[in-house]
Amino acid sequence: MAGLGVYTQLAYCSTRRCQLWASLVEKAFAKVCGSYAATAGGEANEAIAVLTGWPCDVVRFDREDFDADVLWASLSTSRDAQFLMTCSTGRAAESCESVGLVPNHAYSLIDVLDFADQRRGRLQLLKIRNPHAKSKWRGAWSDSSSDWTPALRKELGVASTSQGGSFFMAFGDFLLWFERCTICRVRHEGWSKARLPKIASQNKEATLQITRNRQHNNH
């Protein structure tokens, strides 16, 4: 931690409100990885799985068996289940930067909107956030886009200027400018866990029996 002499902020992760928890989480993650240098780059699914302990599904848009309709349905149900979602760009720097995106960069996928517009029919929009809160999408459905009308903003509860690096993007543009997304199926409550100290023998099978105690009065 840098905070003496000419240094006025933490050496690595820091927050505007001087919160310490983010730096402590980063330090713990660096300890697991072996060093701070080992945490540079990498895949979003790896970091999220380590931090949450929950499995992640990675959907690559360049696979032969990729289905856009299946992806949209998965994003919608994941949003309803409050799963963590990210998406990543993979294009050349000049191509991404020309539309306000950062190349080879992970974004947070915040919301999934599927609604009908009287003039344009069905609209599928995604709310995305750059965690660095800097460069933002400048294409269709961006803050300055003429696609937005005052009535539509009011109906969807969308402010005229988004804050914190967030922006909206049409699903078609999303498939064009991003190359994959990650869905972490983290459960926030209602689950319990139990761990058993057991070493599995090689080439042997075992049966696990779980007994549930039922109370007389069901709720």
Q: Which residues are catalytic, by number?
A: 105, 130
What are the b/e assignments for 45-77, b being 16+ CB within 10 Å? bebbbeeeeeebeebebeeeeeeeeebbebbee
CA distance 92 to 112: 26
**Lookup: tokens for 180:** 């994959």
What phi-psi label fits residue 104: left (phi over 0), alpha (psi between -120 and 50 degrees) or beta? left
**Amino acid (1-letter code) at residue 125:** L
**Amino acid (1-letter code) at residue 184:** C
**Lookup: tokens for 163:** 């804050």
**Is 109 in contact with 184 (CB distance < 8 Å)?**
no
Identify any residues that bridge with 1 across adjacent strands, giving them in sequence order: none
CA distance 38 to 48: 15
DSSP, res 102:
P
